[in-house]
Chains A and B, each alone.
Chain A
Amino acid sequence: MRESRLMLVQYVTAAAAVVLVAIHLLLQGVLVPYGTAISFGTVLSAYRSVISIVFLELLLVVVLVHGFNGVRIILHELRQTASWSRWVDAGTVIAIVASVGYGTRTILLAVLMGVSS
């Protein structure tokens, strides 16, 4: 992907992250008491709501793409050789896929599997 396109991705994910992270933080202590928000029952009910699942998956993808693309930009600024650029770009894609995959696995297991004590 062209670098200008990737910078646009960075700004779009930044704008989306501002909104999504603000909602996420407000739900952890402001709109819902903190103790209630992190209780097992509340978290489980969040994973049983379609809106909440879509929200969490969006938050996961947006924040990780923005974060790792940001690190990629920093690393490109620090050094500019062809091989370094290739390694950084490949590493960024691997990091995004691995971390989004791990987070999505948590969501899918919480949504699809039964509760154990």
Chain B
Amino acid sequence: MSTEETANNRKGVLGWINPHNHNAERWAYAFQRITGVAVLLYVLGHLGDTSFFVGGPIGTGPSESSWAFISGLVENSFGHMILVLVVLVVTFHGVNGIRLILAEFGVMFRKPRAIEYPYKPKGLNPLQRYVFVAAVAMAAIAALLAWWILFEGPL
């Protein structure tokens, strides 16, 4: 394959969300990357907002007024909605990540077999798909719990 052909076949980031020919494992791959980038962006924002405990980027020590300022800015319905989404993606990323680590070390794989039409990968253990479904389910449960804590529970 020439360099030009390789470049044309490269789907890039858009290939993650293109549903054409996506099976469960392919969706798991795409979601793992999308949630990973989302979590990193949140963590960077969280580094910024927690720094207001010491007065922000130019602060010099713990400041009650600075903390009250940032709390007033982020502790509202919109901010809590973001936190629910963060719990959703963090839980999915964590549980699906455990599946990937186990797969990397050969757990949850069957013996490789010759592929036959319609070319479904036979080495994959059905357990892999169950863990993927469990990751989605646990993320939904964790998000519901976060919703309850932030919107319904006793603050």
Contact = CB atoms under 8 A, between A and B. Distances in A.
B7 to A, nearest CB: 10
Contacts of A112: 61
Interface stretch (B18-26, B50-58, B116-124, B125-133): B50-58
Q: Secondary structure of the B side of the interface?
A: helix
Interface residues of B, number: 41
A63 B60 CA distance: 25
Q: Secondary structure of the A side of the interface?
A: helix
B154 A110 contact: no
A34 B62 contact: no
Given A110-B62, A115-B61, A71 B37 contact: yes
Given A38-B75, A74-B37, A116-B61, A43 B47 contact: no
B155 A34 contact: yes
Contact of A18 (B60, B62, B98, B145): B98
A55 interface: no
Given A30-B149, A38-B71, A70-B36, A109 B59 contact: yes
